[in-house]
């Protein structure tokens, strides 16, 4: 088991990095959340990993935090959810947001994730609610946190309906929320501001 890698990022895409560890390049699949976190660390990084082994494939998955890695392990323990879908789920919502969505039964937030339909969302809630609980970082009892998640999910759906990809919508919203962390935005303000960041429909 490879627990972590520490080295230099030599190649990077939104969902994959190649990290040079003492002259050996490791290809690591990452979520958008982890990719975003790594951008702020420059090229010298330490990343937690999970090695997924199949009969015909060995693939490393990387995580910026232990919370994300634990959540990934929970997700792949569910029948029908493989590592790629788990990474897609972690790309759609941060660990805190996902835990809150499960704890509060927020179907809207879960189905805003690309590839997650209502049945899958319901299965996630049923199978993970007891495991996740409310947790110290789930904020399940915080109305403001729940409202922000609802607005975020609705904004993503609105941007996608305007022709933007899930990736573009997510990236734009992250930029908006980072810039406006000190104040609350209405859904209309959130969408309008995100449109300025989303760029072309690609």
Residue 100: closest CA among 136, 126, 72, 54: 136
Which residue, of 39, 63, 87, is where some domain finishes?
Answer: 63
Q: Is the pLDDT of residue 51 over 80?
A: yes
Q: Please report whether residue 18 resides in a domain.
A: yes
Q: Is the pLDDT of residue 67 over 50?
A: yes
What pTM was estimated for this model as a whole? 0.67
Q: For the chain, how many structural domains are there in total? A: 2
Position 82 scores a pLDDT of 92
Q: Is the pLDDT of residue 74 over 80?
A: yes
Provide the pLDDT confidence category of residue 188 given band limits of 50, 70 and 90. confident
Question: How many whole angstroms separate alpha carbon 51 and alpha carbon 53?
Answer: 6
The residue segments making up the domain with residue 165 are 143-198
Any idea what the CATH number is for the domain that residue 159 is in? 1.10.8
Q: Please report whether residue 79 resides in a domain.
A: no
Per-residue pLDDT tens over the stretch 20-41: 999 999 999 999 888 888 876 6
Q: Please report whether residue 173 resides in a domain.
A: yes
Residue whose token pair is 């060995």: 58
Q: Please report whether residue 137 resides in a domain.
A: no
Mean pLDDT of the region 1-25: 92
Any idea what the CATH number is for the domain that residue 34 is in? 2.40.50.140
**Half-sphere exposure of 118 toward its Cβ, with a 13 Å CA cutoff?**
0
């Amino acid at each position: 088991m490879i627990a972590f890698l520490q080295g230099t990022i030599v190649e990077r895409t939104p969902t994959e990095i190649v990290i040079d560890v003492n002259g050996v390049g490791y290809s690591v699949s990452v979520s958008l959340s982890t990719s975003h976190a790594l951008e702020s660390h420059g090229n010298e990084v330490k990343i937690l990993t999970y090695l997924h082994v199949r009969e015909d494939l060995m693939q490393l998955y990387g995580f910026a935090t232990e919370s994300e890695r634990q959540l990934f392990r929970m997700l792949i323990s569910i029948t029908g959810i493989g590592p790629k879908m788990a990474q897609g789920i972690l790309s759609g919502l941060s660990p805190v947001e996902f835990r809150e969505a499960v704890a509060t039964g927020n179907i809207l937030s879960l189905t805003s994730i690309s590839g997650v339909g209502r049945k899958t969302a319901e299965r996630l809630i049923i199978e993970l609610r007891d495991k996740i609980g409310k947790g110290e970082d789930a904020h399940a009892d915080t109305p403001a946190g729940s409202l922000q998640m609802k607005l975020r999910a609705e904004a993503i759906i609105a941007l996608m309906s305007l022709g933007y990809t899930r990736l573009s919508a997510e990236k734009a919203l992250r930029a908006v929320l980072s810039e406006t962390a000190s104040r609350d935005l209405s859904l209309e303000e959130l969408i309008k501001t995100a449109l300025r960041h989303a760029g072309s429909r690609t």
